[in-house]
Amino acid sequence: MPVHRRRLTTAVACAVMLIGSAAGATGAVAAAPARPSVAHPQHQSGRGALLHAELLYTLKTREAVAAELTEAGFDGSQTRHGVDAYRLTYRTVDPQGRPTTASGLLALPRGKGGRLRAVSFAHGTGSHRSDAPSMQRGTFLTGPPVTYASAGFAAVAPDYLGMGTGPGAHPWMHVPSEATASLDLLRAARAFRSLDRKVLVTGFSQGASAALGLGRALQAGEDRYFRLGALAPISGAYDFGGAELPALLAGELDRKSSVIYAAYTLVAFNRVHRVYDSPDQVFQNPAVEVLFDGEHTGRQLFEGTPDSLDALLTPYGLDLLAHPRGGLVDALRETDSVCRDWAPRVPVRLYMAGGDEQATTANTAHCVDSLLRKGVEAKVVDLSAVDHGGSRHLGSNVRGTVEVLRWFRQLG
């Protein structure tokens, strides 16, 4: 295998599984907090109730932040403050509306008093429950929230359901529960720190759809306090059924990432909507389903799946993705609603990178068209030939983070 191909394959594994794309990344957060944990017994009921806050680490100076961001492959030149990073555990609901708990990262600028403007950042796809912002440090996952916090914002980054310390399996690409987990983390963050009403919302890849879902919930008034301030998603699969799956099946995207996304689609969507009766109905090897239990690492998943869709899926499984029916139609209707069924009344910018090997740029084009039909002109920002570890998809998050930050600063 040529060297450049080996680098891209490794980058794809990191992009899909978020197992650490930057050499020398600090990695998993140590169990011991930097100072005693803080419990909040006065906030013990209802969605968004803050159950526990744990200081994970402190970057005391802007220089320390810049060094950590640079080591993780991000731009460290925009730092203004040191950062305190907390894991918040809070009450929320599962896809069926039943009470559960979740965790997320709250990153705060050191030395900045008063009410802070919040930036909600939703992360990209992960497989292991530790592939979450509150479970890592100095990695591709934490680069964006630490960047926003060091710039003076309160960065709020949900782990999602079934990731971080939350129980159960992760309902990947389930926009309704991504939105409730994100909104409830904002509520928990407000119980911990005074926040401004207007929220700036962004996210990458899977998190781009989650960001739009949160924005829709905020604009609809699902919280009495918070309001939507602006939307800036990056490299999303906004039209999963109409753009992403067709490109994946046509071989237009990276082959290995297509295999993993196809498998994740069937397994995760089946957790909320009945997509198949048994794993052997859709997978050549039914054991593939177990790889998405939240306990297998990205590397294990990468090595445990075949290298082609034909080797992964049965003829029925391939046909199901090509011609969705039953529960898959219901799942795609939810996922693909993020640009179709509402009209944002705030500034919107969609960030993308030409030649993205994982999220076809047709997703962005379809989203723009859908919003335009609702009377919304969303500006598209082409991040051009970005690269991070051989991946334009990863690179769009790195470049997009600093570009989104500049725009958010302009908005005030």
Q: How far apart are CA 18 and CA 24, in angstroms?
A: 15
> Do 73 and 143 form a contact (C-beta atoms < 8 A)?
yes
R_g over Cα of the chain: 20
197 conformational bin, left if phi > 0, alpha if psi -120 to 50, beta if neither: alpha
Kindly state the tokens that stand for 182: 């994100």
Residue 71 confidence (pLDDT): 96
Q: How far apart are CA 366 and CA 91, in angstroms?
A: 35
Residue 386 confidence (pLDDT): 80
Q: How far apart are CA 203 and CA 210, in angstroms?
A: 7
pLDDT along the chain (412 residues), means of 10: 34 41 46 41 74 98 98 95 98 97 98 96 96 97 98 98 97 97 98 98 98 98 98 98 98 97 98 97 97 94 96 98 98 97 98 96 98 97 87 96 97 82
Q: Cα 380 vs. chain centroid, distance in angstroms?
A: 20
Query: In this structure, which CATH number among 3.30.70.100, 3.40.50.1820, 3.30.830.10, 3.40.50.300 belongs to the domain 9-239+341-411?
Result: 3.40.50.1820
Kindly state the tokens that stand for 52: 């526990």
Q: What is the dihedral of CA 15, 19, 298, 145, to 10 degrees?
A: -70
Q: How far apart are CA 290 and CA 126, in angstroms?
A: 15
Q: How far apart are CA 190 and CA 170, in angstroms?
A: 25
Q: How far apart are CA 36 and CA 23, in angstroms?
A: 31
Angle formed at CA 117 by CA 217 and CA 33, multiple of 5 degrees: 100
> Do 210 and 178 form a contact (C-beta atoms < 8 A)?
yes
**Full DSSP string of 64-107:** HHHHHHHHTTS--TT--S-EEEEEEEEEEE-TTS-EEEEEEEEE
Q: How far apart are CA 19 and CA 142, in angstroms?
A: 12
Residue 37 confidence (pLDDT): 44
Q: How far apart are CA 193 and CA 84, in angstroms?
A: 12
